[in-house]
Structure 1
Amino acid sequence: MPSESEEDQSEGDHESFVEIDPTQRYGRYDELLGSGAVKKVYRAFDQEEGIEVAWNRVKLSKFINDSTMTERLYSEVRLLKSLKNKNIIALHNVWRDEERNTLNFMTEVCTSGNLREYRRKHKNVSMKALKKWSFQILKGLEYLHTHEPCVIHRDLNCSNVFVNGNLGQVKIGDLGLAAIVGKNHSAHSVLGTPEFMAPELYEEDYTEMVDIYSFGMCVLEMLTLEIPYGECDNIAKIYKKVTSGVRPQALSKIKDLEVRAFVERCLAQPRARPSATELLKDPFFDEVDDEDDDENNYYL
């Protein structure tokens, strides 16, 4: 039999939940996985499935004077729960905490963090591997854009793409700011990360093609390890360059003409910008085996 001190030590090894969701299924730990302007993400545990998950908490105080926006955000996140695609982070549950004035949602967690961190950690990556990551991001965008109704991510960047490094698998996450649009596929609010925002987004009249522009900037970052428009020291300068059609300096560092042409296609004017489905057929992806991607069984 274990001694009393051994039992105490064993009990001390158990990590305690600091919060449990209303269904009593999910428990939140104190460990912070990431944070942004309005959202914090904590490590959590799904007691029913026995898996780790991410507990996302959005502060609704930012929208305190805009009840319409609050309700819209809540309803859109609920709709995102229905999205099922291997290249989209799965949303398990969502609820509003009236006492804390927060919107909470549980999502799957990827083992290797976000793509920006992962790419900087692993600097020696082949072009083939970068193309596989890009292909998977596009597959996720194709699913969102052809979904009924159409879903526009609006804040796609390398910190919102997550990696399961042991599988070479990437998934689009942070869908909390996504827009659900009708048959005309147009949205009007200005949201996103300035370095990755398409020029028409600033004009408050845009379609899902803004995600293709952001995708092009993601590819640029993956290739150069630089955040686009790093030469600008404030948002106003970024805005001026983007709306004037001035490309980021990092683009000039891409010496492979085929690769550079692919990025340029993504950054073209909205009407000339190809859809995700069209880009997936681009010769840029000729060496990517779609069947391998379907199995997600390759290792990097």
Structure 2
Amino acid sequence: MPSVNPDQSDKDSEPFVEVDPTGRYGRYTELLGSGAVKKVYRAFDQEEGIEVAWNQVKLRNFSDDPAMIDRLYSEVRLLRSLTNNSIISLYSFWRDEEHNTLNFITEVCTSGNLREYRKKHRQVSMKALKKWSKQILKGLNYLHSHEPCIIHRDLNCSNVFVNGNTGQVKVGDLGLAAIVGKNHSAHSILGTPEFMAPELYDEHYTELIDIYSFGMCVLEMVTLEIPYSECDNVAKIYKKVSSGVKPQALDKVRDADVRAFIERCIAQPGERPSAAELLKDPFYDEVDDYDENV
């Protein structure tokens, strides 16, 4: 659909550097984020008049890894099927054969990821941290109760996004998510080491690994420290995690209730509560749904 004022040469307008095949979405040069697999640019939806995120993956980087390309397509198909306030929405996707890229348009969160946002705003009440964490839990509960069950597998504060003007928090980056069957178990090792549950290394785990990662997210939110930052390599992290040694950051949590809540999340799998159970935890008694602005 053409825009009302299609003259991109107007000195006040910001030119698009790329437009999707339908002409609806235009991409700007500004980079919102960059990861190992994709780049995310600021973009505009001309039909709705809203800013969006244009995610672009250069498929030639994975020409010798068809499994990775399959996984990327899986992420896109998966995202397209999800509708939840606490999960990043996907609007459109296509493959650009000429440039060999996979492109997908998602909603944009104006304040970036939670890790950056928390570092920027160091003076935050415990109530605000609880509001954020409760919204992450709602997203996890949606994924885990989805048919079939979806395990995120790479939940950390850089994969959670914030709309700072509303306090809204959303789970994103489902690139490593696994769709599991009725037994809710998966078998491959992947994720971000500091946030990976010990049973992940045993290659037999359930959606409760996301609860462990969630506990580590809460720990980072409270202490402003990435868990196991005392370790200078992945091998040392693995050794501590697999032998049950808790991250040193946990000792910095002064509030006994907060510490107990985190410890419940990172307990052994048999003692770890589900997202649905944690949402009913007294920890959230002071945070009602109206407070969350969702």
TM-score category, normalised to shorter length: over 0.9
User: Could you list the per-position Cα deviations for residues 164-200 of structure 1 after superposition, in whole angstroms to 9, with x for gaps in the alignment?
Assistant: 1111111111122222222221222222111111112
User: Could you list the per-position Cα deviations for residues 148-176 of structure 1 after superposition, in whole angstroms to 9, with x for gaps in the alignment?
Assistant: 11111111111111111111111111122
Distance 1:81 1:223 in 2: 33
Is 1:83 aligned to 2:82, yes or no? Answer: yes
Offset of residue 35 of structure 1: 0.6
Offset of residue 272 of structure 1: 1.4
SS at match of 2:10: helix
Offset of residue 101 of structure 1: 3.3
Query: Residue 188 of structure 1 corresponds to which residue in structure 2?
Result: 187
CA contact (8 A) 1:96 1:104 kept: yes
Query: Residue 179 of structure 1 corresponds to which residue in structure 2?
Result: 178
Q: 1:95 to 1:187 in 2, by over 3 A?
A: farther
Query: Residue 136 of structure 1 corresponds to which residue in structure 2?
Result: 135
Greater displacement, 61-70 / 284-293: 61-70
Offset of residue 270 of structure 1: 1.4
Distance 1:56 1:201 in 2: 28
CA contact (8 A) 1:76 1:179 kept: no
Query: Residue 4 of structure 2 corresponds to which residue in structure 1?
Result: none
Percent of matched pairs sharing the same residue: 79
Instruction: State the AA in 2 paired with 1:110.
Output: C
SS at match of 2:94: strand
Distance 2:189 2:22 in 1: 35
Offset of residue 70 of structure 1: 2.1
Offset of residue 201 of structure 1: 1.6
Distance 1:69 1:186 in 2: 21
Distance 2:57 2:208 in 1: 26
Query: Residue 52 of structure 1 corresponds to which residue in structure 2?
Result: 51
Structure 1 segment 1-300 matched on structure 2, within 5 A:
11-293=10-292, 295-296=293-294
Greater displacement, 94-103 / 190-199: 94-103
TM-score normalised over the length of structure 2: 0.93
Indicate the RMSD between aligned Cα atoms, in angstroms: 1.8
Instruction: State the AA in 2 paired with 1:90.
Output: S
User: Could you list the per-position Cα deviations for residues 187-222 of structure 1 after superposition, in whole angstroms to 9, with x for gaps in the alignment?
Assistant: 222221111111122222221111101100000000
Greater displacement, 25-34 / 203-212: 203-212
Distance 2:88 2:289 in 1: 20
Offset of residue 71 of structure 1: 2.2
Distance 1:201 1:100 in 2: 37
User: Could you list the per-position Cα deviations for residues 118-166 of structure 1 after superposition, in whole angstroms to 9, with x for gaps in the alignment?
Assistant: 1111111111111111111101110111011111111111111111111
Query: Residue 3 of structure 1 corresponds to which residue in structure 2?
Result: none
Distance 2:188 2:25 in 1: 33
Offset of residue 44 of structure 1: 0.7
Distance 2:118 2:210 in 1: 21
CA contact (8 A) 1:55 1:104 kept: yes
CA contact (8 A) 1:76 1:180 kept: no
Please list every run of 5 or more consecutive structure 1 residues that lacks an aligned counterpart in the other structure.
Answer: 1-7
Instruction: State the AA in 1 paired with 2:27.
Output: R
Q: 1:181 to 1:98 in 2, by over 3 A?
A: farther
CA contact (8 A) 2:71 2:175 kept: no
SS at match of 1:12: coil
Distance 1:279 1:15 in 2: 46
Instruction: State the AA in 2 paired with 1:57.
Output: Q
